[in-house]
Amino acid sequence: MRPSPREAMRPDVLRGRRRVSRRAAALGSVAVVVIAAVLTTTSVATGAPRATKAHSGGTATFALQPGTAPKMILPFFASEYAGTPLYDFMFQMYRPLYWFTGKVFKLTEKDSLAYLPQYNANDTAVTLKLKPWYWSDGEKLSPNDIAFFMGLLSAEKTNWWAYLPGDFPTNVASTTYDDAADTVTFHLKTRVNPTWFTLNQLSLVEPMPLAWELSGPGKKADCSGEAPKLEATACVAVYRYLQHEASDTATYASNPLWQVVDGPFRISSYSPGGLTVVLVPNKKYSGPDKPKIGAFDLKSFTSDAAEYDVLRSGTSLTVGYLPFTDAPTKPTNAAVGANPLAGYKLEPWPEWADNGMEVNYDNPTTGPVERQLYFRQALASLIDQQTIARVAYKGYAFAEYGPVPPTPVTPYLTKYERSDPYPFSIANARHDLSSHGWTIPKTGPATCTKPGTGPHDCGAGIPKGRELAMSLLYPSGIESYQVELEDFQSDARKAGLYLSLRPRPENTIIADAPPCTSKQSACSWQIVYFGTSSFAPEWFPDLGILFICHSVANEMNYCNSSLDALYEKVYSQKGLTAQHEVENFLTRQAVTISGPVPDGQLTEVSDKLGGYVQSGTGAITPQDWYFKS
């Protein structure tokens, strides 16, 4: 069975900084380049040389993006909580097995709980050796902690945000736990592409402390014993108890369960709605780089404007962000523009992310139009990426013409993606439409005047008289998104496409644009823009979760058997040949409509803070921060 896309985790759900979060030479040399790029031990700098004396203590206050207040603490959670900030909140307390960081993302062995994974000669098994790491209650990190996690997956995988049949853990035939050697070996059902499996499957493994192996207060259960009959009862009871406790946000800081951590911090206070969450150092942290600050204070805001009002006060935020709409335009070829704030250093935060709009191929009214390649080509030609990058993002963005971003430089991007096959041109968009049966008036939307399935007709399912008018959903509260889409709306009208922009709250837009069929009332959405989407925590940018037929994460309802066959090769063969074919296919077919990728955010860092480093993965390491004296 091939690996399948994951269910509820979508790049538009687990997003990076900017509210949302996803490619040579001969085959052999490509494989070497890729694995060298991502499966190496890296030593990440912890800031510039200290010109001033550092001192311990003090509270570092960090601004979260609008709509991302932490609302789930249990690292085994359902899709409805997939908007929880992982790197800013959850991973500070509960570390995933592997940590990825760096401008060009890499598996950072120094900060990981295990050494680099070792695959057998046939790529049908992978062995993970754990490091000598400890939980805050004194328990040593052991294979039992992974067995506990796997037991929960076996019993409650449909309640895990990352699950889809065929994918992890159902692509694992069996698991061997060796407590004496501190190793875990996953025996896989089929040969896998080891780079993909490490970046997109092992990146999901989350060890769980045995202190949580309870079915009720003080009631010890056995969910780590690997016995199917036990898992069917014990693990279900454990999950229900943990979920019940995690649903009571008011007790996050007082419940002893959540004080058992293996990360550098533990929770100290939690305000209603998670608008203010304070983490303090885990004094028993066994990882590298012990925390220096006295507290890490997370602040959530309802909008960019609300955050900026606080930031401008100059006293409340140690690390905030400058909204793009308030930033001075960056000079051409400059790394950074002028900073309007005194007492802060402006640091643009590029991320490994993509950007674009999705169309609903199954919408009963507009789906027949959106299924036409000429229409999607016209849409792509109406995105003025250069102007949007300059006006909406003040120069802090770069053009993207396919599913893989050109920055940072990676071996994934193809020459065809770089070529901009559908450059901005209102004239080209008008020609694409008028040469396929649409009449474009001087004012008002274009109308299908030549229905049919011929090469110059409107296309199957499009009746005579159909007007080219569609609605476009997008997240509210982020001004740069509105500027971007208003520019697109204006250019689209010049080609006869009338778009109605409909903002939606960040925490509901996913539900407003679900996977659906044409007969369902939920299929009323037509175009959706989720915003910039980080690839985290799946670093191999295949994006099969969006495009494989009938994936429950395929909200576009797109399906192409030839593309599915390519994905079979991506997941099972070494190298990037199949991956490059996938990217070129998606780009040529304009399956999604690419837009400029802005920096994750324009970070404002207090001049008083040292040790601050930004990663292309969106990861932060507040244990490295310190206040200058």
Band (pLDDT 50/70/90 cuts) for residue 551 is: confident
Name the token pair of 218. 């003080």
Of 37-41, 192-196, 467-471, 568-572, the range with the lowest mean pLDDT is 37-41
pLDDT at residue 51, rounded to an integer: 47
pLDDT at residue 27, rounded to an integer: 25
**What is the average pLDDT score of the chain?**
89
Question: Per-residue b/e over 372-408, b at no fewer than 16 CB within 10 Å?
Answer: bebbbbbbbbbbbbeebbbbbbbbbbbbbbbbbbebe
pLDDT digits (tens, 9 = 90+) for 304-344: 999 999 999 987 999 999 999 999 999 988 999 999 999 99
Angle between helices 373-381 and 426-434 in degrees, nearest 10: 160
pLDDT digits (tens, 9 = 90+) for 396-446: 999 999 999 998 888 999 999 999 999 999 999 999 999 999 999 999 999
Are 8 and 82 a contacting pair, CB within 8 Å? yes
Q: Strands 59-63 and 295-299, how do they pair?
A: parallel
pLDDT digits (tens, 9 = 90+) for 69-126: 999 999 999 877 867 788 899 999 999 999 998 877 789 999 999 999 999 999 999 9
Whether 566 has a pLDDT exceeding 80, the answer reads yes
Look at the alpha carbons of 53, 56, 62, 68 in this order and tell me if their dihedral is positive or negative.
Answer: positive
Of 49-53, 246-250, 495-499, 538-542, the range with the lowest mean pLDDT is 49-53
Whether 25 has a pLDDT exceeding 60, the answer reads no
Whether 139 has a pLDDT exceeding 50, the answer reads yes
pLDDT at residue 14, rounded to an integer: 40
Domains of the chain: 114-247 (3.90.76.10), 353-598 (3.10.105.10)
Quick one: three-class SS letters along 144-160?
Answer: HHHHHHHHHHHHHHHHC
pLDDT at residue 3, rounded to an integer: 31
Three-class SS state of 399: coil
CA-nearest of 404, 382, 336 to 599 is 336
Whether 38 has a pLDDT exceeding 80, the answer reads no
pLDDT at residue 483, rounded to an integer: 95
Band (pLDDT 50/70/90 cuts) for residue 351 is: confident
Whether 26 has a pLDDT exceeding 70, the answer reads no
What angle is formed at CA 616 by the lines to CA 482 and CA 622, rounded to 5 degrees? 100
pLDDT digits (tens, 9 = 90+) for 208-241: 999 999 999 999 999 998 777 777 889 999 999 9
Quick one: how far is CA 399 from the chain centroid? 19
